[in-house]
Amino acid sequence: MRGRAKCQTRGVPFSHGAGFPASASDLASCEVQFATKKSGYKRKALPQPVRFEVWVRSGGRCAIRNRYLLDGALADKTIRLGELAHIVGQQNTAGSPRGQNDLVERDTADNVMLVCADEHDEIDAPENLDVFTVEKLLALKHAHEDRIKHVTGIAPDRTTTVLRMIGQVRGQQVELNAHGLRGQITPGRGPRIHERTRYRGRHYVEVWIVKDGKVVASDHHDVVIR
């Protein structure tokens, strides 16, 4: 649980929950000042390594909305908009969202997710706890962090290269340009990619696999649309 309260760190206002203050000691001081109105307990500061790990795992993006949380939309400046939310509440009390749980270690990167401020309010609202369960939030966190790890692990030489694209328009073969590419094939996208067309008849799909600038495999599939 956290609130929208603010305190001063070295004379600069710091939004509670933002995750990265001026220093760890500043955050500790700020956290001690802060107490939630609903539960009355004082929230302990998350260790600096835990905060850093959660931000890195999440790629600086909200684990629920995928919003980039280091860019302000109004001032065109870098600003930390993310908040660190506990999945199992920090305290084993009824006032700590999802807090009544057998989990022992709670201030860990595995139990904290990076989210937008609005999402933090929504997932911790008492009336929403039946929706945003521990299992639900863990699934959202893991799916987001796994995707970030996969996407950021794709080296520049493993991008999709378009060699040639042939399509059918009113029964006639036409050469398509790169702007006609619907999307690249990446692991985890699933075995099926759905497309729509207004034209019936015989179409086909050609797939080319390029490695180190050379075609190492290709395939051709006929698609008949009735």
pLDDT at site 209: 75
**Confidence band (pLDDT; 50, 70, 90) for 48?**
very high
Quote the CA–CA distance of 197 and 216 in Å, as a whole number.
30
**Kind and range of the H or E run holding 175:** strand 172-175
pLDDT at site 216: 83
Indicate the range of 23-32, 92-101, 148-157, 172-181 predicted with least confidence. 23-32
**Token code pair at residue 2:** 């956290």
- CB of 82 closer than 8 Å to CB of 59: no
- What mean pLDDT is predicted for residues 179-200? 57
Give the mean pLDDT of the chain. 75
The set of residues, in sequence order, having a beta carbon less than 8 Å from that of 169 and lying 6+ positions away, is 199
**Kind and range of the H or E run holding 149:** helix 134-152
Q: 117-132 pLDDT, tens per residue? A: 999 999 999 999 999 9
Look at 215 and 33; give whichever has higher pLDDT. Answer: 215
Count the alpha carbons within 13 Å of 179 in the hemisphere toward its beta carbon.
Answer: 0
- What mean pLDDT is predicted for residues 59-77? 90
Tell me, yes or no, if the pTM score tops 0.75: no
